[in-house]
Amino acid sequence: MLVGLFNELVIDRDSSNWTNGSLLDIAEYRNGLAMQKYRPDQDDRGLPVLKIRELREGTCGPESERCSSDIDEDIIVNDGDVVFSWSGSLLVDIWAGGKVGLNQHLFKVSSSKYDEWFYYLWTDHYLGRFISMAADRATTMGHIKRSALKQAVVKIPDKRSMANLSRLFSPLLDEFIANKIQSKQLETPQRCPPHQTHVRRDRHLEGRGAYAAK
Report pLDDT for 78.
96
**All domains of the chain in start order, with CATH:** 2-207 (3.90.220.20)
Secondary structure letter of residue 212 according to DSSP: -
156: CB partners within 8 A, 6+ apart: 18, 19, 20, 21, 25, 26, 162
Which of these ranges, 113-117, 124-128, 200-204, has the smallest mean pLDDT?
A: 200-204
Condensed to tens digits (0 to 9), the pLDDT of residues 173-182 reads 999 999 999 9
Mean pLDDT of 69-92: 94
More confident: 4 or 211? 4
Question: How many CA within 13 A on the CB side of residue 26?
Answer: 24
Distance CA(106)–CA(128), nearest Å, equals: 17
What mean pLDDT is reported for the chain? 87
